[in-house]
Amino acid sequence: MDSVGPVGLRQGDGAAQEGLPCPPGSSELVHQCLQQFKVTGAQLRQIQASLLGSMEQALRGQTSPVPAVRMLPAYVGSIPHGTEQGDFVVLELGATGASLRVLWVTLTGIEGPRIEPRSKEFVIPQEVMLGPGQQLFDFAARCLSEFLDALPVGSRGLQLGFNFSFPCHQTGLDKSTLISWTKGFRCSGVEGQDVVQLLRDAIARQGAYSLDVVAVVNDTVGTMMGCEQGARSCEVGLVVDTGTNACYMEEARHVAALDEDRGRVCVSIEWGSFGDDGALGPVLTTFDHTLDHESLNPGAQRFEKMIGGLYLGELVRLVLAHLAQLGVLFGGCTSPALLSPGAFLLEHVAEMEHPSAGAARVRTLLQDLGLSLGPSDAERVQHVCAAVCTRAAQLCAAALAAVLTRLQHSREQQTLQIAVATGGRVFERHPRFLSVLQETVKLLAPECDVSFTPSVDGGGQGVAMVTAVAARMAAHRCLLEKTLAPFRLTLKQLAVVQAQMREAMVKGLRGEASSLRMLPTYVRATPDGSERGDFLALDLGGTNFRVLLVHVATEGVQITSQVYSIPECVTQGSGQQLFDHIVDCIVDFQQKQGLSGQSLPLGFTFSFPCRQLGLDQGILLNWTKGFNASDCEGQDVVCLLREAIQRRQAVELNVVAIVNDTVGTMMSCGYEDPRCEVGLIIGTGTNACYMEELRNVAGVAGDSGHMCINMEWGAFGDDGSLGTLSTCFDASVDQASINPGKQRFEKMISGMYLGEIVRHILLHLTSLGVLFRGQQTQRLQTKDIFKTKFLSEIESDSLALRQVRAILEDLGLPLTSDDALMVREVCQAVSQRAAQLCGAGVAAVVEKIRENRHLEELTVSVGVDGTLYKMHPHFSSLVAATVQKLAPHCAVTFLQSEDGSGKGAALVTAVACRLDRLAHV
């Protein structure tokens, strides 16, 4: 059986150290006695697994059976990141018995010189410890004033951290209710009360200084937060003092008591009570049972009684007394002192185990207790101390391994690299406790790479650091909210946008000056389901160009397509070069599909701003999306295509319609749903179209029927109407674009620009010190480095914070968990504004249709395409919610288009052919 002995780890667990040493000439009775303190590797793993199970049960809030440990949120949501600076006051009550300590702590950040805290200890009179609670807190307030009187404080406000070392139920960083007094305190009227409020009231009664009690902290959390900044983040605190406890940073979504799904929170593991349910039975000795029976709380805190410094000396005393009574030690003699509880303290045990001076200290201490030592007694006593303390370190390691395993699994990391802050007199005074702990942790948690760092005055410096981190987070939160406030639009602001768009629509339809061109598309009907035949479709809207063969039949639409790339030299070359390349692609497609020589009706999706003069006539107004082919703007693109066809002899193509991709989207969905009368694109760019009453279209003859209007709404606001909603970040993105001052609506809501808006916000927040510790990175300075697809990924509900961090780290951004949360919040604010502005636009369109038709209620569908709408986890629902609020009399259904630019172009052509046949009939 693999076993772990008092001095280290036995070979059965792969360690190189020997087990329990048997001193030369030692009696078999000594050996048998100390064998009880051996803990096998299997037993340690069982303890590790049992504690981990209890932790997870408590985190989930399960109460049956009662968890063996309590997992208490400490409401500390961040660890230090080295920029914390300023002066802080700490009040420490209960950590040192019948006294309180006040500290003045100055933090200077990583790069500043360390300034030693100033402190003063005040003895609490017995009558105050046992009197009314108000008297105790008034005494604390007077001590604070007396301490601060000696410092150049003046009238400035100070932030205070409160270390209150008594059992409490904490419900907030600055809210903690005393459960029960311990350590000799019995003040009336305090149990069940918020101790922070009692302190605040006392400070107010004193009236001398402006002190803001920011945080109430226990010493374990203070230990973790007081850890010196190093290469690894310190996210675990471990205290082994008179008692023992631990804390660590847990994913907030796993803490049922919080009902919070973002970020991390420090959880205090009240593990001293582990084993009260009998889980430690196999490793309990007769001496543990005796100690527990004689304690003030029999049956409780069983784990603590095997580890805590308050009990190690007593366990040693019980073993020595037992061996003396067996005649193995001290010539079989005892002394009244040896038989008196409390005769051995932690300090005595540590001194007796000292590698060089230990033997001499054994003789001195035992002689002081009235004992006479035989030749081997000093060595045997040292072995007893080693057995008791080694077991304590191993049990502590098993518990710590449970915490580390929890962190590794919850963060889904193959290897967990982490620092553990240690505090307490056992670590400080015992010569081997830490080394045994480290070796055992390596054995039990081999996937965890752990470094141990002594905490710097957890009760003082650590509490000050909690206060500083809370102050930093509050200040950063304020700056973040101020930065994002312009992106959080009210319903009133959105209603104004809706009204402005409605007004611009009417003006554009009348031919008056407007930021909305409201271009007739000469598409006069949506599909009715009777369309049949084979059609060609061309789709030009970006650097990839598609040619499609679309077969429309009774059973549905079948599509065959091929993608061709357009080199940059072509998009930036001459118009003739561009359209010759397009025709070459069409000919190649026809040959591959066996269509050479056939003249099929062709629909041309041309996703650039055009003024249509007919269904097959479209004047290019201006290039967008990075195209800049010469001699095209102001020309009929259908004519340019037909001229290229003529240049390529022996090719016949019947160009029936030029189609905007937004119209194609509407027509594609209209084939499935006859109520679809609106098209919407939210992708790299954005646009909308809808079926308008022909009588309202000033530029086209006729008073009856309908006409699809291409709104070109990306340019909405180019007249300055969106000025009140535009931020400095929008202005930066606009100025850096290829068309400053144009497409202002598009630049606030489409995929080409949202990532850039986010990048500019992140730069601003970094300059304020809110993000990335204030360190500007070259990567973040790079234009377009933050793609809009990252918004979709970062905002995904299924993505853990770890994955968000991975996305940002791949961009070369050195970030903390706090940074990841704030970056996600920035993304959410930018995309939410985009979706709401889009929703306001859709609301203006559907309300216009409803009023055109004089309807009380309108039922209409909107066909939608675009990667932002389809891929973003919340965009579509935000658009729909906004439309519902702004257009309550319209029942709007959103349909995602399938290949609107390809299938839609073919359907426009098919509808045109159907109408043409009807006209001839």
In order, the DSSP letters of 465-528 are: HHHHHHHHHHHHHHHHHHHHGGGS--HHHHHHHHHHHHHHHHHHHHT-S-S---EE--------
722: its two tokens: 């969106």
Cα distances from 503 to residues 376, 507, 574, 703, 721, in angstroms, run: 102, 6, 39, 21, 11
**Of residues 546, 744, 833, 850, which has the active-site annotation?**
546
593: its two tokens: 């599909």
Tell which residue, 291, 307, 455, has the closest CA to residue 393: 307
List the helix and strand counts (H, then E) for the chain.
Answer: 30, 26
Task: Respond yes or no: is residue 477 known to be catalytic.
Answer: no
* CA dist., res. 758 & res. 824, Å (int): 10
Widest CA span of the chain, in angstroms?
A: 127
* CB-based burial, 640-658: b 16+ in 10 Å, e otherwise: bbbbbbeeeeebebebbbb
Report phi then psi at 614, rounded to 5: -175, 175
**Of residues 288, 292, 539, 661, which has the active-site annotation?**
661
**Of residues 3, 54, 607, 817, which has the active-site annotation?**
607
How far from chain centre, in Å, is Cα 842?
A: 32
* CA dist., res. 468 & res. 376, Å (int): 55
How far from chain centre, in Å, is Cα 739?
A: 36
365: its two tokens: 């201490």
* CA dist., res. 906 & res. 601, Å (int): 8
In order, the DSSP letters of 48-106 are: HHHHHHHHHHHHTT--SSPPSSEEEE--------S--EEEEEEEEESTTSSEEEEEEEE
Task: Respond yes or no: is residue 719 known to be catalytic.
Answer: no
Task: Respond yes or no: is residue 588 known to be catalytic.
Answer: no
SS3 731: helix
Radius of gyration of the chain (CA): 38
Tell which residue, 100, 74, 297, has the closest CA to residue 187: 100
555: its two tokens: 């059973």
Other beta carbons within 10 Å of 700: 17
Q: Parallel, antiparallel, or unpaired: how do β-strands 610-614 and 617-620 relate?
A: antiparallel
* CA dist., res. 100 & res. 325, Å (int): 43
Measured over the CA atoms of residue 267, residue 271, residue 275 and residue 280, the dihedral's sign is: positive
What residue spans of 226-368 are helical by DSSP H? Answer: 286-294, 304-307, 309-325, 346-352, 358-368
List, in sequence order, every beta strand (DSSP E) within 669-815. 676-682, 686-693, 706-710
Other beta carbons within 10 Å of 526: 22
What's the order of all strands across the beta sheet hosting 416-423?
Answer: 70-73, 264-270, 244-251, 234-240, 416-423, 448-454
| Cβ contact 734:745 at 8 Å | no
Other beta carbons within 10 Å of 86: 16
Active site residues: 546, 607, 661
